Chains A and B, each alone.
Chain A
Amino acid sequence: MGIVRFLIRRIFTGLIVLWIVATGTFLLFFTRPVEVVARQLAGRSATPQTIETVIRNLGLNDPIHTQYLRFLNQIVHGNLGFSYYSQVPVKTILAQDLPITASVVIGGLVLWLAVGLTVGVISATKARSTFDRVSTVGVLAGISMPTFVLGELLILAVFVPLNQHGFHWIQTGYSGLSKGFIPWVGHMILPWITLATVQAAVYTRLSRGSLLDTMGEDYIRTARAKGLTERRVIMRHGLRAALTPVVSQLGIDVGALLGGVIVVEQVFSLPGLGYDSVNAIATGNLPVIIGFVIVAAAFVVVANIIVDLAYAGLDPRVRIS
């Protein structure tokens, strides 16, 4: 009951956020002189006739509120327009890109949480040990490392030498799961490492600090006094409470994840959502960019709902309401 009501409420506020994003997008892109908008929608090399057609077909001369309602109506019906470049519907382009971007996101996210939390927990339980010191240095290096620099250095130091010596498993570009799991991993492993490292550093620091804080609490002493094994004290009593700030940080970092994906796709020439939207900027392909902005906003909204559910699952004091 509680969960259903929570979901309904969150989906409702999520829709409002999406509406605000759509309105913002509309204001940004369509409230400029008709000629300018038409030129951007038609592409840079469009002839005056093409621009005329675009203005007529899209009704750019209509009053602004008519255009606005039509814009919203089209989004609701999943109609995001056509790429002027290939005349392919934007929806189709986004659908083609989605598996690639999902491959990067899911693998990277698993790696980042697994490494971040494991290193963080070991560092916290063995504070001031050699492992802890090494990991602190690693965290600092990771935080200072821009994602794209790490990606380029990995290509330079791993991909290029391996391929020069006839070892071709690790590749750039994309190979779909349909072509086999092993080649897929070979194409994705460097992007995953690149995406995960920077964030893993942040999460190591966060989970270490949080667990150290928790381990000073009275109820941990009580748990130890009960005679529980140290392992059980940490895993059952310490970690559960220590994870709440980590999960709430995850909600904030969803947007950052998207940014990271755009960069990683660019570095490794993975033709996903981020790659295509950056290319769309270079070619002035406005419909694709609008589509991407709206899909990105939807992704952030959905991910935040999931994070909130996880948050309530972890911390019994948080009631879903």
Chain B
Amino acid sequence: MSVTELEFQAHAVESAPAEAIEGRSQWQLTWRRLLHDRMAIASMIVIALMVLIAIFAPVIASIVGHGPEQAFPNTGTTVSGTPVGPGTNGFVLGTDYIGRDLLVRVVYGARISLFVGILTTAIATVAGVSIGLIAGYFGGFVDTVLARFIDSALAFPFIVLALALAAVFSPSLTIVIGVITFFSWAGISRIVRGQTLSLKEKEYIEAARSLGAGPWRIMFIDILPNLMGPVLVLATLYIPTAVIFEATLSFLGIGIPEPTPSWGSILAEAQTYYQIAWWYVVFPALALLITTLAFNLLGDGIRDAMDPRTERIFAAARARKGRRKKKQGQAAADGSAELAGPSAGTR
């Protein structure tokens, strides 16, 4: 009997299709789940479009025939010197207060927003992850000092520092990037530190240590890969925050200096024209909103896709088993507030 069973098994193994069962990595699983999330797909497309618009801004400008800083006092303003509306004299989205093409300005604004958003998030992520890992792994005195530092950076009113810096140095792209980075790394550090604190107690870390691995190897080769999920989610959610930071600073006149177009500074100029030029406010505001919304939706989508509990919840919701049970399952999934992302507060 045992022989037949063995034979049977051998046969089963042989006849199995070569690629029928393939181990899927965590990333593959996440990616598959993400592809089922229609909102996430839509936001990825929107982000890709925005990036393309930013890259090809000069092409768009040359098609329209208007430069980003080029004013058209004759065709671009009315007789009384106010902006002209959308569709007038070849200005698709209208003009601004000195007759510059709003479409071209908004398109060039995407360059600044995305550049600042992505660059600051990248720097802040590297710094935040390193500091969080070091604080969490070494513990003790190092942790006490770094944790204090993280807390103070989190609680510091960033606009106040930006104001003080702008008072001393004239506003520039470098200062904007510096200020935003300085206020973004701490949130990432806090999460990474917390995760490291629990991960370093795991058996496989002990195993690595007993094999003679040093602290840096353990931190960056054993612990870091396990943190990539939460860090990716956080980074995606920090990009829109950084975009809003930049726009806010430029709006207050302490961000990107004139005449470089930034969505924030365009909206600041528009303030005088509420009564007569709605397009001056609406189009840059829409560009800003669409961008931040897309990144936030994508971040939420990635988080849901990473969370193995999400699938269980959907399954539970479909099966509609006992009401009580369902409630508890949701509580577990919805409660993962730990990755709630950057507090909007930071603006």
CB within 8 Å of B: which residues of A? Answer: 25, 28-29, 32, 40, 124, 127-128, 140-149, 152-153, 155-156, 159-160, 198-199, 201-202, 205-206, 208-210, 212-213, 215-216, 245, 249, 251-260, 262-263, 266-267, 277-278, 280-282, 284, 286, 289, 292-293, 296-297, 300, 304
Asked if B248 and A147 sit within 8 Å, CB to CB, the answer is yes
Asked if B336 and A258 sit within 8 Å, CB to CB, the answer is no
- Asked if B254 is at the interface (CB within 8 A of a chain A CB), the reply is yes
Asked if B275 and A296 sit within 8 Å, CB to CB, the answer is no
In the docked arrangement, what's the CA distance between A219 and B310, Å? Answer: 25
The interface residues of chain A lying within 8 Å CB-to-CB of B251 are: 146, 148, 263, 266
The interface residues of chain A lying within 8 Å CB-to-CB of B288 are: 146, 149
The interface residues of chain A lying within 8 Å CB-to-CB of B332 are: 216
- Asked if B226 is at the interface (CB within 8 A of a chain A CB), the reply is no
> For chain A, what secondary structure do more than half of its interface residues adopt (helix, strand, loop), or is it mixed?
helix
Q: In angstroms, how far is the closest chain A Cβ from the Cβ of B332?
A: 6
In the docked arrangement, what's the CA distance between A278 and B253, Å? Answer: 8
Q: Which of B240, B247, B289 has the most CB of A within 10 A?
A: B289
Residue among B157, B166, B167, B264 making CB contact with A259, cutoff 8 Å: B157
Residue among A127, A206, A293 making CB contact with B340, cutoff 8 Å: A206
4 more contacts with CB within 8 A, not counting A210-B335, A263-B159, A300-B156, are A146-B247, A212-B330, A259-B347, A296-B157
The interface residues of chain B lying within 8 Å CB-to-CB of A296 are: 157, 160
B230-270 CB mask vs A (1 if < 8 Å, else 0) is 00000000001000100110011110000000001001001
Asked if B154 and A252 sit within 8 Å, CB to CB, the answer is yes
Q: In angstroms, how far is the closest chain A Cβ from the Cβ of B97?
A: 15
Asked if A128 and B167 sit within 8 Å, CB to CB, the answer is no
Q: In angstroms, how far is the closest chain B Cβ from the Cβ of A275?
A: 10
- Asked if B96 is at the interface (CB within 8 A of a chain A CB), the reply is no
Identify the closest chain A residue to B186 (Cβ). A252
In the docked arrangement, what's the CA distance between A156 and B270, Å? Answer: 11
Q: Assuming A152-B267, A201-B344, A202-B345, is B331 touching A216 (CB within 8 A)?
A: yes
In the docked arrangement, what's the CA distance between A215 and B330, Å? Answer: 11
- Nearest 9 pairs between A and B by C-beta? A256-B345, A213-B335, A255-B157, A209-B337, A259-B159, A253-B345, A216-B331, A144-B292, A144-B293
Asked if A281 and B281 sit within 8 Å, CB to CB, the answer is no
The interface residues of chain A lying within 8 Å CB-to-CB of B168 are: 28-29, 32, 40
Asked if B334 and A152 sit within 8 Å, CB to CB, the answer is no
Asked if B344 and A281 sit within 8 Å, CB to CB, the answer is no
Give the number of residue pairs across the A-B interface with Cβ within 8 Å.
178
In the docked arrangement, what's the CA distance between A11 and B253, Å? Answer: 35
Q: List 16 A-B contacts (CB under 8 A).
A: A127-B334, A143-B296, A145-B292, A152-B285, A215-B327, A216-B328, A245-B337, A249-B345, A252-B155, A252-B345, A255-B158, A256-B346, A263-B159, A263-B248, A278-B254, A296-B157
In the docked arrangement, what's the CA distance between A251 and B151, Å? Answer: 10
The interface residues of chain A lying within 8 Å CB-to-CB of B336 are: 209
- Asked if B315 is at the interface (CB within 8 A of a chain A CB), the reply is no
In the docked arrangement, what's the CA distance between A32 and B168, Å? Answer: 10
Identify the closest chain B residue to A295 (Cβ). B160
Q: In angstroms, how far is the closest chain A Cβ from the Cβ of B253?
A: 6
Asked if B344 and A143 sit within 8 Å, CB to CB, the answer is yes
Identify the closest chain A residue to B333 (Cβ). A212
In the docked arrangement, what's the CA distance between A153 and B278, Å? Answer: 9
Interface size range on B against A: 35 or more
The interface residues of chain A lying within 8 Å CB-to-CB of B55 are: none
- Asked if B300 is at the interface (CB within 8 A of a chain A CB), the reply is yes
B156-178 CB mask vs A (1 if < 8 Å, else 0) is 11111001111110000000000
- Which residues in window 290-347 of B have CB below 8 A to A? 292-293, 296-297, 300, 317, 327-328, 330-332, 334-337, 340, 343-347
Asked if A149 and B285 sit within 8 Å, CB to CB, the answer is yes
Asked if B155 and A255 sit within 8 Å, CB to CB, the answer is yes
Asked if A149 and B289 sit within 8 Å, CB to CB, the answer is yes
In the docked arrangement, what's the CA distance between A205 and B341, Å? Answer: 11
In the docked arrangement, what's the CA distance between A251 and B285, Å? Answer: 30
Identify the closest chain A residue to B39 (Cβ). A140
In the docked arrangement, what's the CA distance between A283 and B248, Å? Answer: 19
In the docked arrangement, what's the CA distance between A49 and B282, Å? Answer: 49
The interface residues of chain B lying within 8 Å CB-to-CB of A202 are: 340, 343-345
Identify the closest chain A residue to B154 (Cβ). A252
- Which residues in window 147-205 of B have CB below 8 A to A? 154-160, 163-168
Residue among A148, A215, A304 making CB contact with B267, cutoff 8 Å: A148
Q: In angstroms, how far is the closest chain A Cβ from the Cβ of B327?
A: 7
Q: In angstroms, how far is the closest chain A Cβ from the Cβ of B35?
A: 21
Identify the closest chain B residue to A280 (Cβ). B167
Q: Assuming A146-B292, A148-B248, A160-B274, is B163 touching A277 (CB within 8 A)?
A: yes
In the docked arrangement, what's the CA distance between A128 and B327, Å? Answer: 10
- Asked if B271 is at the interface (CB within 8 A of a chain A CB), the reply is yes
The interface residues of chain B lying within 8 Å CB-to-CB of A145 are: 289, 292
